[in-house]
């Protein structure tokens, strides 16, 4: 770890398992609109794709659809009201964070989740005082896979990107990390759809469980 001074995490599907509460919001909305709820195994792989991905899954619509905006607003309100109902850090991740902190290594979060949701969730989970930086999808003028959020995180923690690890569960995460000249690790345990092939992301390393990070370190 001597070459790395910071470890940065994606939030949904990497650091925190948010799928249960995103699924609860989607299924509540589906039932309000007269549709049957979807099983967890159908929702989980799409959980990293935000409201657009989840509404596309549940209602078969895109952002161009006339019903999209009102459904999105209702979905976000439902999610916001239930954001930490079942959400928790992934099993084993607290051990990883303790190891990082005990090693005097900085850690932070870079996510595409909007700040009003990110900040609320991070605080409820008690991570706000532990993370050295929290960069959300609307913190900079670009979201991942653009390198701007990654470089902004580096500015906040005063550590050069080449001394940072970035861990994520989506192609955009690995692309963003590589675009910023960081070492990248792909989390296979995250929200990965059937059509995804993490091997094509060309991450520097792959893990199947948060504890794999300890062995990798």
Answer yes or no: are the C-beta atoms of 87 and 125 closer than 8 Å. yes
| Annotated catalytic residue within 10, 21, 169, 212 | 10
Long-range contacts made by residues 36-41, C-beta under 8 angstroms, separation at least 24?
Answer: none
Q: Say whether 119 is catalytic.
A: no
How many Å apart are CA 101 and CA 7, to the nearest integer? 10
- Going by their DSSP bridges, the two strands 88-89 and 16-17 should be labelled as antiparallel
Strand partners, 109: 9, 134
Q: In the annotation, is 40 catalytic? A: no
Measured distance CA(123)–CA(136) in Å, rounded: 14
Distance separating alpha carbons of residues 71 and 34, to the nearest angstrom: 13
Rounded (10°) CA dihedral 147, 192, 37, 81: -40
Nearest to 78 by CA among 137, 113, 31: 31
Question: By the 8 A CB rule, do 25 and 18 touch?
Answer: no
Handedness of CA 167, 27, 57, 65 (dihedral sign): negative
Active-site residue, selected from the candidate residues 12, 17, 21, 173:
12
Catalytic residues: 10, 12
């Amino acid at each position: 770890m001597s070459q790395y001074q910071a470890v940065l995490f994606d939030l949904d599907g990497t650091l925190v398992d948010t799928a249960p509460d995103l699924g609860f919001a989607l299924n509540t909305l589906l039932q309000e609109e007269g549709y049957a709820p979807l099983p967890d195994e159908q929702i989980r792989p799409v959980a990293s794709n935000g409201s657009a991905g989840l509404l596309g899954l549940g209602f078969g619509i895109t952002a161009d659809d006339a019903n999209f905006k009102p459904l999105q607003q209702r979905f976000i309100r439902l999610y916001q009201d239930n954001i930490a109902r079942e959400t928790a850090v992934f099993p084993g991740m607290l051990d990883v964070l303790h190891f990082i902190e005990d090693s005097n290594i900085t850690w932070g979060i870079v996510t595409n989740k909007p700040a009003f949701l990110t900040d609320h969730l991070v605080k409820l989970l008690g991570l706000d005082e532990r993370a050295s930086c929290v960069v959300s999808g609307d913190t900079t003028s670009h979201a991942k896979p653009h390198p701007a959020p990654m470089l902004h995180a580096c500015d906040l923690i005063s550590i050069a990107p080449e001394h940072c690890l970035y861990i994520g569960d989506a192609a955009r995460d690995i692309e963003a990390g590589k675009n910023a000249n960081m070492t990248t690790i792909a989390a296979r345990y995250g929200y990965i759809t059937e059509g995804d092939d993490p091997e094509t992301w060309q991450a520097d390393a792959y893990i199947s469980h948060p504890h794999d990070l300890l062995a990798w370190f």
